[in-house]
A and B are shown apart, each in its own frame.
Chain A
Amino acid sequence: MIIKETHKKIVSITFGIFSPKQIVDSATAKVVTPELYDREGYPVDGGLMDLRLGVIDPGLRCKTCGQKLKECPGHFGYIELARPVVHINFVRQVLDILKSTCKSCGRVLIPDENLKRYLSILEKIGTEEGFEARRRKVKEITKKYKVKEKCPHCDTKQTKIKLEKPYNYYEGEIRLSPIEVRARLEKIPGEDLEIFGFKKESFRPEWLIITVLQIPPVTMRPSITLESGERSEDDLTHKLGDIVRINQRLFENINAGAPEVIIEDLWDLLQYHITTFFNNEVPQLPPARHRGGQILKTLANRISSKEGRIRHNLAGKRTDFSARTVISPDPLISLNEVGVPLSMSMTLTVPERITEWNKEYVKKYIENGSKKYPGANYITKPDGKRKSVTAETKDEILAELAEGYIVDRHLIDGDIAIFNRQPSLHRMSMMCHLVKVLPGKTFRLNPAVCNPYNADFDGDEMNLHIPQTEEARAEARILMLVETQLISPRYGLSVVGCIHDGITGNYLLTKELVLSREEAVDLLYGCGINDLSSLPDKEKIDGKEVFSVLLPKDFNFIGKDKSGNEVKIVNGQLKSGLMDKSNLGQESGLMLRNIYEKYGAAYTAELLGNISKLGITVLSRRGFSIGISDMDLAPEVNDEIKDIIAKAEAETLKLIENYHDGKLEPLPGRTIMETLELRILETLNRARNKSGDVAMRQVHESAALVMARSGARGNALNIAQMTAIVGQQALRGKRIETGYSGRTLPYFKKNDLGPAAHGFIKNNFKSGLKPYEFFFGAMTGRDALMDTALRTPKSGYLYRRLSNAMQDLKVEYDGTVRDASGRIVQFLYGEDGLDVSKTKNGVVDIKRIVQQIVGEK
């Protein structure tokens, strides 16, 4: 079937300035009256809502193009101004031109012989370095000649021209009216424009002074009808109304021969209104306001800023077929699936084109209708007409259904979806998942993919998009599927891995569990593993052997676990070592990385899912819980820690004593006071680390410790702070400082330099903190909070700048990296042309290749 559509492609966009003639020619209506509607509420001819300018009311037709609401794109109109006014955004440029041209002959104040030379320089810079460089050069050249006293062409003496902000020009002491300014600009010959960087074919400087004002179509300034039936006009319409009103009054006054003062006043007012129409944030002008005092949003405000047209509507767009809800974990669905609530899957649809092969299959959806899952919501006929599927239309649709019809059927298992969580900081924040329709109201995802999304389940929400075309689905599936994103392009290691229970379970399994055969089989079946052929035929089965069932049979691996012991896998059998974070977790996961290399992405994803499931199942059968008694220490350990702390305190006091006695040797480049502080800080931190080590070593085997050891959650410091000592609180790398009062808190004596008075927390979280200790803890806690709050926008802005600057760099077919205009940035990407996400932490593993080949036989 040939699709009879032509796709037009925009090749380039040319920017330019409308001449008054173009404005009049392109206009459909001349606006002459500030009135908007007549008594019946019908738009007035020649008013701002003129029907020739487009329609915004349902039921009316555009007088220009005959189309209805939403079809008519709108048409421009114009106002003829009684007197010309300055365009606020061109004020600077007009000033530059006036300054560098002769007041009588209009030529540029550059002698003819130089002019040619400059032009060729400009030409050269323009082609070699681009517009911005040329613009700088233009400024440089014109600046040199602005101050010329005499015109080199006609010898007229020049007077200095000033700009009285925002828009009044003065020559010496005399004000130049826009009429005079325009007259001067008219005199400038086209040839001389080139030196300013203007193109003589499409530009005249006098166009910068407005004589006819273009009126934007009504479609870009629609009015809203309030509930009371009252109409509320757009800000732009308000502003235009002001302009038309003043303009009419100016006309009348001029025609009636009113005194010059009155005309001048009106003229100024017209200038003000037109200025604020373009930009309502001119520094020297009071902004135009609504009657209520609210500032009007005019043209410039609509374009700029994050909420403006460019960043909000053009660079960022809205989509259909998307959904958002809370996420919750489901370790039983696979890594690349997403659980979609049933109610959502009946609203989100996938268009399915009827062909001779799928006719019967698609019919089933129609038969189900839109209320019964899996059904269909709409059909689209080949002529583009859409029909909704309801109980009434169902039979009719079934009868007419033929090839070429498109049916929007409900989402079913296996459909392609793109899943996303904000902030979308890297490409793994948007990955393709396969739909799994589940009961409930939340999206379900495998906890192992939390890391790339940086998601947790404390109320996070995520978005789902359903691609609607074959191309989009193919691209999503091939390039964005979870398993294709396992390796981060940032550092070439895995970004997904087992987390939390997935790690703890496998750690315990490989470390200490010995199961009976029944238990082992039950466990493996329980997490969906059916192929038990490699399970050894024994009564008692070691945890390592259970784990090995998951591994491929020809897999060999030698690595290290978290505590530094060797992990050895020979022919798919875990011989020694434990499975913990350094092999299963993300950002390390070397075992997984090797499997990925050897067996490919899809296999790794599946294996990872299985390992994770195994861990969780192990834990749920074995039981795993943590309580306050996990933090108990043996009395002798407690004493040892007390001893360490006491010693550190004594040492500190000794330092202080030395300081008071003047015996302290300053460190190079520091004062004695700084030296003391540094030494104390060092001593106390050493004491904390030491007692942490002691606690870590001697605390009895508890769930908290298992988690810390396996790397599932928590670390030595956390355990130490709970069981032994919280330690020194540091603000900006220093102990808590006294401020002006000579002490940190009224609880202490003035000028006390001791540990406790400067934020050393002797207690641990289990024993509880003293009030002053708690306060110091709160100080550092607050500091950390502020740090995050201040950092987020800063790093966000850095990111925005980086991505904006680098977004169009790409690798060309010749291996070079170039930007959009073809400039070479790198001759070979990364100097070796490697894709980081295809390497192992940025390198190709040569050692392994050598080992493999040398090791053979």
Chain B
Amino acid sequence: MKKEHEEIAEKYALLLPPAALTEIRETVPGTISKEKLEQIFAETIAAYTAARINPGECVGLVSAESIGEPGTQMTLNTFHFAGVAEMNVTTGLPRVIEILDSQKEIKTPTMEIFLKSEYNKIDAVRKFAAAIKETLLGELVLEYALNIFDQTLRLKLNTAMLADFSLSVKELVKLLKPKTKGFTIEETDDSITFIKKGNKPEEIKEIYALKEKMKVIKVKGIKSIKQVLPVKRDEEYIVLTSGTNLKDILELPEVDAVRTTTNDINEIYMVLGIEAARQSIINEVNKVVEAQGLNIDIRHVMLVADVMCSNGAVKGVTRYGVVSEKASVLARASFETPIKHLINAALEGEIDNLSSVVENVMINQPVPLGTGLPGLITKLK
């Protein structure tokens, strides 16, 4: 764009959303005359003004309808295969419910890990993927041998796998030592033996507990990354995981922290904060909507996300979350558990100012939305 054009654009910058401004910049040919550019801006602003939302419009309900109505068209099928080599992820209605409920434990937590460009080679990606996968000691053990009389536990290790993970028995022992107080450790090339210190009661309890403990000790990788899958997306390699641990993954030097993400919204909230969580809700819902071939405008999803996040914490659309925040007793009572709400209201002497919809429906008064909003004051003769 030429300088004189920029000046005109500058003039209108505050009257239009930034996206519209960029679009005009991109579509307008460079040879355009000043007058025509002015005209374009004038008409665009007119178009935007014409499309503006009316005050009093009940946008909440429209958004709820827009998401609720296509709910019946979504599939209930939990799993889908986006391609032969992709991971299983919850999609469809169950996923939407999961997101909007803001459930703490989601069914299929996954991460998409992007790598910095210098690591973006197939070998490096494979190596990285293998390195982050959580490996438990139990996976490396071929055999557990419990000896009650000697009070020993011997782990026979899978040396081939050890080599795969480039671990040595020595390293393992080092790792295990602080976690096994009360035992002395002996090692051979392919086994580790724990011997109980001090007096030795002929009891199985303690070494059995030790054996169980051994099974779940993390020897390598990042906690709760259960599976890794390097895939090629467009021109680069990314790593898909099952299980998430955003905080620890972001700390790794290979990871492109800007684009790496997880599908666990509460985790995003804990690590990156409320704004990120809000964006993540929008992204995740949109993902499902697109996968189902539905068409829901982003404004509706944004509004739901904003309602869920407006308090500074992610609140689910449930009776414990968003609905419990309502000021009106009757509105809460009309949703779920009415007795509880009425009792509490009575005890505390709550006052319902009848400022929202249901209460006014209940007492047959116009609702303060849309055409019910404005009043008319007139002089009677």
Contacts and interface: CB of A to CB of B under 8 A. Distances in A.
A130 B19 CA distance: 37
A637 B345 CA distance: 75
A679 to B, nearest CB: 7
Interface stretch (B159-167, B207-215, B303-311): B303-311
A197 interface: yes
Nearest to A490: B66
A808 B53 contact: no
A303 B357 CA distance: 19
B193 to A, nearest CB: 33
Interface stretch (A13-21, A458-466, A559-567, A713-721): A13-21
A149 B343 CA distance: 30
A303 B342 contact: yes
A475 B371 contact: yes
Contact of B53 (A315, A809, A825, A834): A834
A90 B343 contact: yes
Interface in A673-712: 678-679, 682
A383 to B, nearest CB: 21
A156 interface: no
Interface in A290-313: 300, 303-304, 308, 310-311
A823 B310 contact: yes
B55 to A, nearest CB: 4
A15 B64 contact: no
A311 B356 contact: no
B347 to A, nearest CB: 6
Contacts of B63: 802, 806, 809
Given A2-B380, A791-B74, A682 B358 contact: no
Given A795-B71, A831-B17, A820 B349 contact: no
Contacts of B52: 833-835, 838
Given A15-B329, A425-B68, A798 B28 contact: no
A838 B228 CA distance: 45
Interface in B299-343: 299-300, 302-304, 306-307, 310-311, 317-318, 322-331, 333-335, 337-339, 342-343
A824 B303 CA distance: 11
Nearest to B327: A821
Contact of A850 (B24, B84, B317, B318): B24
B229 A826 contact: no
Nearest to A845: B47
Nearest to A670: B85
A831 B59 CA distance: 13
A853 interface: yes
Interface in A769-810: 787, 790-792, 794-796, 798-810
B279 interface: no
B346 A820 contact: no
B273 interface: no
Given A308-B338, A846-B23, A791 B76 contact: yes
A808 B359 CA distance: 11
A830 B51 CA distance: 12
B317 A802 contact: yes
Interface residues of A, number: 104
A357 interface: no
A469 interface: no
Contact of B349 (A203, A492, A849, A853): A203
Contacts of B306: 817, 825-826
A798 B96 CA distance: 9
Interface string B203-232: 000000000000000000000000111100
B332 to A, nearest CB: 9
A825 B65 contact: no
A667 B368 CA distance: 59
Interface stretch (A4-12, A359-367, A411-419): A4-12
Interface centre among A16, A198, A492, A854 (most CB of B within 10 A): A854
A311 B53 contact: no
A732 interface: yes
Given A314-B361, A798-B71, A844-B48, A804 B59 contact: no
B362 interface: yes
B381 interface: yes
Contacts of B61: 803, 806-807, 809
B304 to A, nearest CB: 7
A566 B270 CA distance: 51
Given A796-B71, A826-B306, A850-B24, 20 more contacts: A9-B365, A13-B359, A132-B324, A197-B347, A315-B334, A425-B65, A425-B69, A425-B72, A475-B371, A787-B75, A794-B93, A798-B93, A804-B335, A808-B369, A810-B368, A821-B355, A830-B298, A830-B303, A838-B50, A844-B44
22 contacts: A10-B363, A13-B359, A15-B351, A17-B346, A17-B347, A129-B311, A303-B339, A425-B69, A490-B300, A791-B72, A791-B76, A794-B93, A805-B307, A810-B369, A811-B53, A815-B53, A820-B355, A824-B310, A826-B303, A830-B298, A833-B52, A835-B54
Q: Which 8 A-B pairs have the closest CB atoms?
A: A809-B60, A799-B68, A795-B71, A820-B356, A806-B60, A830-B299, A808-B356, A15-B345
